[in-house]
Structure 1
Amino acid sequence: MEEMTNESGWRGSREGWLDAASEALLEAGVDSVKILPLAKKLGLSRTSFYWFFRDREELLQALVGRWREKNTGGLVQQTLAPALTPAEAMLNICDCWLDSRMFDSKMEFAIRSWALQSDDISADVRKADQERLDALRQMFVRFGLSEVNADVRARTTYLVQIGYITMQTEEDIETRMQRIPDYIEVLTGTTATQAELQRFAARHGYRPA
């Protein structure tokens, strides 16, 4: 809930400051995430920042926490989503790549760029990578694959998508959807049924031209 101050009228909110910091990170990198420019962007006093964060470092850590919760949490959750076949399970994972509410690729790129400047953030990224890979590997194991095979398929799945993100590859929805069946076959060694593909397309609001 937003709160009033005598000095500025509004203190804003913790989420509002985080949203502004996130936008700055995406637009110009971590060096642009500074208190005074954010305050000006929000139309708030600089002092109102300190109602929600001790300092800039706490704000930066909150950004990392938001990334971790959304991207790692979203991907891990999808590995546990109900699926009767490996193809269906992989389509659940593909939901992440098409729905930024589950996995924010722009934030992923920004955090990985930040990691090039910071050993601490680099360690956070390595930890997230391992957690995500472990979740993907366990997903494959649940479908009867050996630990080695599951590990290779998990790495292939994950590294392909991270490659998409770090190379800032852009695909329109038509191109991505046309490629999905072949990706499923390559990544799982199985073929998605027409019904599975139709359910996947429907939940992303896609209808073939």
Structure 2
Amino acid sequence: MQPSENRDTKWKGSRDAWLDAAFELLLESGVDSVRILPLARRLNVSRTSFYWFFRDREALLYALIERWREKNTQGLVRQTDAYAEDIVEAVLNVFDCWLDSGLFDAQLEFAMRSWGLQSEEVSREIDTADEARIEALARMFERHGYESLEASVRARTIYLTQIGYISMNTRETLEVRMRRIPYYAEIFTGQAPQTRQLRRFHARHGYEPDADGREGKSLRG
């Protein structure tokens, strides 16, 4: 890349940078704060550079919805389709979403649901997403031998529990969450997770329990 191209990119920012900044404002102050001039100031770029990437503010807001849809809805659906030897492992795959923001961004979910309280259009998007996510979870249970109604109820129980966590902005340490995971898995599936399944789950999230299994530490950072 030539120096002039570097300068041009810095001046305009990038589409992802504008979206990241818009998400930050959405989370901090709500959708009314997501406007072009405050975003440009936050990014330290020219206001006119916004129009390299978006037609108008409405296009930016739509792009935020698209990002949420791809990140959270598709992220969750992909986890329900991940390989699992049994239903407990399948549910632990879903639990990955609650611990890895690369799979499912809880802050983005909270921001979108707050936005939905002000916008019928966004509220409808959320309803559609909820339906798709619950259906994906129910199909997961059905693939592992649960009949349709039971699969639907278990799917709703998992999903509504987690959305409750997000909507209440619940905070837990990794240690507390990990101690609770086996009990949630058993409640949601009717089957207790095996030690080897928990070990794989812990390893995916950089967690090492103490010898008694009740306490633990993060291996990250």
TM-score by length of 2: 0.91
Counterpart of 2:174 in structure 1 is: 173
Counterpart of 1:133 in structure 2 is: 134
Q: Does 1:148 align with 2:138?
A: no
How far apart, in 2, do the equivalents of 1:182 and 1:9 lie? Answer: 50
Residue 191 of structure 1: CA displacement? 1.0
Q: Secondary structure at the match of 1:82?
A: coil
Residue 3 of structure 1: CA displacement? 6.7
Counterpart of 1:121 in structure 2 is: 122
Counterpart of 2:47 in structure 1 is: 46
How far apart, in 2, do the equivalents of 1:132 and 1:3 lie? Answer: 41
How far apart, in 2, do the equivalents of 1:135 and 1:191 lie? Answer: 22
Q: Secondary structure at the match of 1:207?
A: strand
How far apart, in 2, do the equivalents of 1:201 and 1:93 lie? Answer: 14
Q: Secondary structure at the match of 1:54?
A: coil
- C-alpha offsets along residues 98-139 of structure 1, whole Å, 9 cap, x if unaligned? 000100001101000000000000000000000000000000
Q: Secondary structure at the match of 1:171?
A: coil
- Counterparts of 1:20-169 in structure 2, within 5 Å, are 20-169=21-170
How far apart, in 2, do the equivalents of 1:159 and 1:24 lie? Answer: 27
- In structure 2, runs of 5+ residues without a counterpart are 210-215, 217-221
| Root-mean-square deviation over aligned CA pairs | 1.4
How far apart, in 1, do the equivalents of 2:195 and 2:38 lie? Answer: 51
Counterpart contact for 1:3–1:12, Cα < 8 Å? no
Counterpart contact for 1:3–1:11, Cα < 8 Å? no
* Residue-pair matches, total: 207
How far apart, in 1, do the equivalents of 2:205 and 2:7 lie? Answer: 41
- The percent of aligned pairs where both chains have the same amino acid is 59
- In structure 1, runs of 5+ residues without a counterpart are none
Q: Which has the higher contact order (CA 8 A, sep 6+)?
A: 1
Structure 1 residue runs of 4 or more that deviate by more than 6 Å after TM superposition: none
How far apart, in 2, do the equivalents of 1:4 and 1:130 lie? Answer: 45
How far apart, in 2, do the equivalents of 1:116 and 1:88 lie? Answer: 35
Counterpart of 2:213 in structure 1 is: none
Residue 4 of structure 1: CA displacement? 5.0
Letter of the structure 2 residue corresponding to residue 128 of structure 1: A
